[in-house]
Amino acid sequence: MDFKKFSDLVMIEQTLFALPFAWLGVLFAGGGDFITWVWVTIALFAARTAGMSFNRYIDRAIDARNPRTKGRALPAGAMKPGDVLMLGIGSSALLVLSALMLNSLCFYLSFPAIVLLYTYSYFKRFTSASHFYLGFVEAAAPVGGYLAVTGEIELLPFLLGAVIMLWIAGLDVVYALLDVDFDRKEGLFSIPARLGRKRALAISIASYGCAVALLVAAGVITARGIPFWVAVFSTAIIFYRQQSLARTGDPATAVNEFFLLNRFVSPVLFAGTFVDVFFR
């Protein structure tokens, strides 16, 4: 498998933009040491690769029927299903190994994490809550980063996880606007397909608003400083712009711009928190 095929399969640019959320958990736990950062990074990379590989493998028949996704590697015949499945299994093994190198709690939790990564793709076949289930899966990043440092169950990492869950769910609802007709035809469950555009956008903006509120709560609880609050304010501005885009113009164009803006969220939050933790 060459790098281009691998990159296209797992959407490696999204992995790079997801990394700061795992690092955010590390920062809220006090920063950790260098080796913790290394293994957290490997774990996140492995988890994203496993999740995307399983998704592409499980959804290959659906992707082949969808005009928007039929050019993906598996429906286009650029890769073999067995190879993609093995990539998912191998990445899952790497996730378990990296979790073991962090601490016993992370090791034990890596197994239910793999179950989440594998089962997400099935949810849209029977429930519109699939958007929130995806958010729940992504929420493991800051939770895992925090637990990698402390090795103990506490409330704070789950608060951070809830921020990510709500944000990703709101994001995925907007993304699903592109497939409303296809989802209805195939009998797939998504909030836009089931409730319509207007209600879907209302749920999306409510999810975004709750995410910001919980982010503020996390900052207040941990007495974060000015750099963090500047990052939170900047994130809120990005969220506002995204929601404005989702309500105007051609859906495909709006969603493309929506995702371009989305790339700034994790770096902004990470940078503000990093400065607050290490240079306050």
- CB burial of residue 257 (10 Å; 0-12, 13-18, 19+): middle
Distance CA 45, CA 120 (A): 18
pLDDT at 263: 86
Is pLDDT at 2 greater than 70 in this prediction? no
Q: What is this structure's pTM?
A: 0.91
Predicted confidence band of residue 11 (pLDDT cuts 50, 70, 90): confident
Distance CA 96, CA 46 (A): 9
Distance CA 127, CA 130 (A): 6
pLDDT at 256: 79
Predicted confidence band of residue 69 (pLDDT cuts 50, 70, 90): confident
From residue 22, how far is each of 16, 140, 161, 184, 220 by CA, in Å? 11, 8, 10, 35, 20
Average pLDDT over residues 2-11: 67
Average pLDDT over residues 159-174: 94
Is pLDDT at 245 greater than 80 in this prediction? yes
Distance CA 159, CA 182 (A): 35
> Rg of the chain's alpha carbons, rounded to an integer?
18
Of the CATH numbers 1.10.357.140, 1.25.40.340, 2.60.40.790, 3.40.50.720, which one belongs to the domain with range 3-278? 1.10.357.140
For residue 125, the 8-state DSSP code is T
Q: Determine the Cα angle at 168 with ends 155 and 128, to 5°.
A: 105
> What is the per-residue pLDDT across 94-121, written as a single tens digit (0 to 9) for each?
999 999 999 999 999 999 999 999 999 8
Q: Could you tell me if residue 13 is left (phi over 0), alpha (psi between -120 and 50 degrees) or otherwise beta?
A: alpha
pLDDT at 166: 96
Q: Could you tell me if residue 28 is left (phi over 0), alpha (psi between -120 and 50 degrees) or otherwise beta?
A: alpha
b vs e for 134-156, b when ≥16 Cβ sit within 10 Å of the residue's Cβ?
bbbbbbbbbbbbbbbbbeeeeeb
Three-state DSSP class for 46? helix
Kind plus residue range of the DSSP H or E element containing 142: helix 140-150
> What is the per-residue pLDDT across 213-224, written as a single tens digit (0 to 9) for each?
999 999 999 999
